[in-house]
């Protein structure tokens, strides 16, 4: 309703505006010295225009302005139009003329509006038809220059559109093809090849499939794509067809498969596992050797990068991701890293993984990465055993002097950086020589092992317990908040050492003496010496006790 009122008001205003334009014309003529015969002539023409375009509402607006202008001149400015106001004849003449013209316009207006609307509609239709024809021509040009078979097939399996490639293939004019069925164009044998997928497309499925046809004794590998064309209700009206010749691609793919088979044959006799990653889909192909590494049934497998990350040792995840990202971004030419993976049985195995990006797109984005995985668990175990022998005491499995010195340097550096202090406890067994001489070396070794175990149980996991040789032991305490902490540890060690040990049916008590030295990380070289000197003070004080070193 409001829209209708708005439309009426606009027409009314239009009619009034046209009449006012006529008034402005009359006033301008008077100003320039001309003498119009009547005040309503030119405004009346504006009224006619308003009536023709605005209908009754336009007429109402126009006649209102004309009437007001005429009355205004009669009341105040009649001298400007003396002939018009001298007699009522002119007034009635103008009223009669206006009435006749307005009635004529109002009666003719619907027909004229229909004619104008029809003409406008016809012009619009012609523009749309021209645009549609140009669009179809452009589409035809595009389709003709696509190196593939492009067409549209209706629900009745008849061709409605096809590009020029069909003419090159079938040596048949497009005019002859359009309107014919697929069977008529390709023949019964090839139609039987197409029919199952045509039926799928007519059921509303998007179909992509490969097939082989023979043309002039030469096989062609084709990739067909059928896209259903659905109406508003979801019913299939037909389907679009695009068929590409992928013979070169198929040959390259077959050659790649042969090359891959040759490579896998070469790798079958080794423990080298081949991997191939599609970086767009994150899918990873792994050869049979990989299944042997993780303890799975021997077979090729396809997995994802997320699944492979899931079997990485937690401590290795960040390093593997960082190395992979650097290789993908081109920051390093090759990817090479040793890390651990979990087998199906839950065991951790070491592998060395090597690879490189083998394919990038035009913008440099990595698309494909290929490499190998080799099980190096045995090698790592051997290396760890060698390293352990170099840093550990063979008898007690405690740190040796070399490892202790290394950890002391690191602890001193942390102490200097973070503040606080460290403490060194230097110990030996008071009665070790007596046990060793009376019961033999086996008993002495048993005593050393037992004492080493008690020491480990008396300190934190972050502290270091080392054996320097014979019955000499050293304990490194880090992050010592106050002197009482080291004192508590020394008292616990002395109390534990007083507990008897049964060796060859005899109970032996081997007490210990301890020298304690504190440091702030600036004197780690003298810290052990000061603790050793304090140990001799403890022995001189009667043993089975501890003494503090004099501050440096």
Assess if residue 498 is contained within a domain.
Answer: yes
Residues 490 and 529 in one domain: yes
Residue 375 belongs to domain with CATH number: 3.30.450.20
Task: Check residue 389 and give its pLDDT.
Answer: 65
Assess if residue 132 is contained within a domain.
Answer: no
d(CA 401, CA 476): 12
Residues 187 and 293 in one domain: no
Residues 406 and 521 in one domain: yes
User: What is the enclosing helix (H) or strand (E) of 538?
Assistant: helix 524-540
pLDDT above 90: residue 368: yes
pLDDT above 70: residue 6: no
Task: Check residue 169 and give its pLDDT.
Answer: 81
Residues 256 and 239 in one domain: no
Average pLDDT over residues 296-309: 90
Q: Comparing 78-92, 169-183, 421-435, 460-474, which segment has the lowest mean pLDDT? A: 78-92
Assess if residue 124 is contained within a domain.
Answer: no
Segments forming the whole domain that contains residue 102 = 2-115
Average pLDDT over residues 1-14: 72
399 burial type by CB count under 10 A (0-12 exposed, 13-18 middle, 19+ buried): buried
40 burial type by CB count under 10 A (0-12 exposed, 13-18 middle, 19+ buried): buried
Residues 366 and 293 in one domain: yes
Residue 504 belongs to domain with CATH number: 3.30.70.270
Residues 424 and 513 in one domain: yes
Task: Check residue 2 and give its pLDDT.
Answer: 57
Residues 223 and 285 in one domain: no
Higher local confidence (pLDDT), 233 or 119: 233
Residues 534 and 397 in one domain: yes
Only one residue has tokens 């030419």, namely 333
* 135-157 per-position pLDDT tens digit: 777 777 777 777 888 889 999 99
Assess if residue 371 is contained within a domain.
Answer: yes
pLDDT above 90: residue 475: yes
Residues 241 and 286 in one domain: no
Higher local confidence (pLDDT), 512 or 385: 512
Assess if residue 187 is contained within a domain.
Answer: yes
Q: What is the rounded average pLDDT for all residues in the chain? A: 84
Average pLDDT over residues 402-409: 88
pLDDT above 80: residue 270: no
pLDDT above 90: residue 474: yes
* 170-224 per-position pLDDT tens digit: 888 888 888 899 999 888 888 988 999 999 999 999 999 888 887 767 788 888 8
CB 431 within 8 A of CB 507: no
Structure tokens at 378: 């045995």
Higher local confidence (pLDDT), 322 or 381: 322
Question: How many domains does the chain fold into?
Answer: 4
Given 381, 403, 424, the domain boundary residue is 381
pTM over 0.85: no
Residues 527 and 396 in one domain: yes
Average pLDDT over residues 315-324: 91
pLDDT above 60: residue 358: yes
Helices (H), 32-87: 41-76, 82-85
Residues 60 and 156 in one domain: no
Average pLDDT over residues 11-24: 83
d(CA 42, CA 215): 84
Higher local confidence (pLDDT), 263 or 8: 8
Assess if residue 518 is contained within a domain.
Answer: yes
CB 372 within 8 A of CB 352: no
pLDDT above 80: residue 5: no
Residues 352 and 396 in one domain: no
Assess if residue 121 is contained within a domain.
Answer: no
CB 152 within 8 A of CB 161: yes
| Sequential DSSP letters for 226-253 | EEEEE-TTS-EEEEEEEEEE-HHHHHHH
Higher local confidence (pLDDT), 127 or 465: 465
- Catalytic residue check, 393: no
- Identify the active-site residue in 428, 463, 471, 532: 471
Cα-based angle 193, 194, 199 (whole degrees, multiple of 5) = 125
Assess if residue 133 is contained within a domain.
Answer: no
Nearest alpha carbon to residue 368 among 281, 428, 456: 281
Task: Check residue 267 and give its pLDDT.
Answer: 63
């Amino acid at each position: 309703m409001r829209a209708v009122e708005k439309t009426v008001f606009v027409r009314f205003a239009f009619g009034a505006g046209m009449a006012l334009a006529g008034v402005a014309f009359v006033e301008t003529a008077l100003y320039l010295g001309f003498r119009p015969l009547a005040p309503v002539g030119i405004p009346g023409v504006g009224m006619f225009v308003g009536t023709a375009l605005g209908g009754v509402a336009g007429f109402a607006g126009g006649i209102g302005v004309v009437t007001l202008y005429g009355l205004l001149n009669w009341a105040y400015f009649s001298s400007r139009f003396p002939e018009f106001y001298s007699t009522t004849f002119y007034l009635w003449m103008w009223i009669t003329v206006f009435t006749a013209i307005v009635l004529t316009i109002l009666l003719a207006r619907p027909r004229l509006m229909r004619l104008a609307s029809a003409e406008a509609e016809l012009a619009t239709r012609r523009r749309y038809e021209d645009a549609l024809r140009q669009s179809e021509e452009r589409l035809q040009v595009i389709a003709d220059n696509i190196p593939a078979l492009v067409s549209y097939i209706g629900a009745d399996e008849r061709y409605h559109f096809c590009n020029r490639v069909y003419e090159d293939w079938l040596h048949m004019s497009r005019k002859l093809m359009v309107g014919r069925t697929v069977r008529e164009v390709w023949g019964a044998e090839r139609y039987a090849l197409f029919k199952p997928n045509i039926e799928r497309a007519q059921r509303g499925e998007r179909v992509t499939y490969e097939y082989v046809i023979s043309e002039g004794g030469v096989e062609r590998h084709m990739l067909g794509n059928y896209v259903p064309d659905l109406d508003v209700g979801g019913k299939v009206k037909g389907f679009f067809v695009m068929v590409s010749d992928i013979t070169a691609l198929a040959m390259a793919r077959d050659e790649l498969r042969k090359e891959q088979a040759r490579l896998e044959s070469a790798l079958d006799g080794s423990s080298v596992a081949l991997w191939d990653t599609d970086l767009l889909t994150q899918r990873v192909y792994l050869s049979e050797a990989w299944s042997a590494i993780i303890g799975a049934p021997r077979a090729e497998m396809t997995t994802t990068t997320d699944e492979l990350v899931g079997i990485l040792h937690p401590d290795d995840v960040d390093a593997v991701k960082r190395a992979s990202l650097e290789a993908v971004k081109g920051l390093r030419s090759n990817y090479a890293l040793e890390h651990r993976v979990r087998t199906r049985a839950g065991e951790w195995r070491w592998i060395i993984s090597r690879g490189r990006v083998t394919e990038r797109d035009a913008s440099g984005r990595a698309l494909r990465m290929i490499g190998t995985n080799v099980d190096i668990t045995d090698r790592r175990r051997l290396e760890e055993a060698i390293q352990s022998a170099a840093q550990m005491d063979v008898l007690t499995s405690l740190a040796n002097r070399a490892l202790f010195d290394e950890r002391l340097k690191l602890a001193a550096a942390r102490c200097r950086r973070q503040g606080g202090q460290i403490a060194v406890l230097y110990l030996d067994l008071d009665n070790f020589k007596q046990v060793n001489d009376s019961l033999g070396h086996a008993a002495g070794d048993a005593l050393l092992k037992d004492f080493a175990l008690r020491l480990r149980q008396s300190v934190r996991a972050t502290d270091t317990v080392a054996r320097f040789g014979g019955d000499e032991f050293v304990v490194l305490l880090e992050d010592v908040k106050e002197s009482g902490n080291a004192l508590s540890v020394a008292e616990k060690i002395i109390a534990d050492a007083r507990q008897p040990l049964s060796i060859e049916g005899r109970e032996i008590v081997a007490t210990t003496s301890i020298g304690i030295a504190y440091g702030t990380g600036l004197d780690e070289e003298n810290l052990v010496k000061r603790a050793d000197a304090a140990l001799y003070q403890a022995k001189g004080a009667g043993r089975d006790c501890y003494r503090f070193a004099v501050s440096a």
